[in-house]
Amino acid sequence: MSMKRRDVAKLEEHLGYRFRDKSHLERALSHPSTVMTPRMQVDETYQRHEFLGDRVLALTVAELLLKAFPKADEGELARRFNGLVRNETCADVAREIGVGPFIRLGEGEAQAGGRKKEAILGDVCESIIGAVFMDSGFDEARKLVTRYWEKRMLDWTGPLRDAKTTLQEWVQGNKLPPPVYRLVERTGPDHEPQFTLRVEVPTLEPALGTGPSKRIAEQDAALAVLKREGQWSEDQD
């Protein structure tokens, strides 16, 4: 079922971009739960646009970082990059744009709160970038990414060291086996999950970490070990 014309116009206003071929936008907003067969998923849902949008986002953010931080080394650039292209950031952009109400979902996914799920919001955000690329090419897609990511890049306050990587390097330097991360608990509704993970390193006390994704919980657990062992100072947060 096609989107209503007024809905398309409203979302385009939020995006700051008007599609020449509205089918690109409709496909970018269509979750796999809206179709019945795997073949239809390829043709009629956001998956292919998401694949493309992910690459466009990565290239544009990398370009923005190189221009904004000419003296940063590869490690610093990589950590800034990872913070900007992760699913949580894409979901945050989707919420800023107000994409949620426009996402097309199957009945079951809609009842499960799919329009608020971070994973779906992040996927749709990338698919919209891909849709703009398909509709007008790289320059317009770059403009969209720049509009919503440049301010996040300049305001970013995340650590310039990655806790998991730092822990891995530290245990290797002490000739210990690599850390192992285990899921302890998952709580909360599907659209607002909370994960608790435990990191285990031989000869060290395990530590717990929490977060809205497994990746964030792992970072939190690694950070807890590093702080406890005196390998991470507060000014690195």
Binding residues for Mg(2+): 50, 123, 126
The catalytic position among 54, 135, 218, 220 is: 54
Nearest to 213 by CA among 95, 117, 93: 117
Would you list which residues are annotated within the binding site? 50, 123, 126
- What's the distance, CA 217 to chain centroid? 15
- For residue 54, indicate whether it is catalytic: yes
User: Where would I find the H helices in the chain?
Assistant: 5-15, 22-28, 38-44, 47-68, 74-85, 87-97, 107-111, 118-136, 138-155, 163-173, 214-228
CA separation for the pair 157, 133 (Å, rounded): 30
Burial group, residue 233, by CB count within 10 angstroms (0-12, 13-18, 19+):
exposed
- For residue 200, indicate whether it is catalytic: no
The catalytic position among 26, 44, 109, 126 is: 126
Question: Which secondary structure element, helix H or strand E, spans residue 210, and what is its range?
Answer: strand 207-211
Catalytically annotated residues: 54, 126
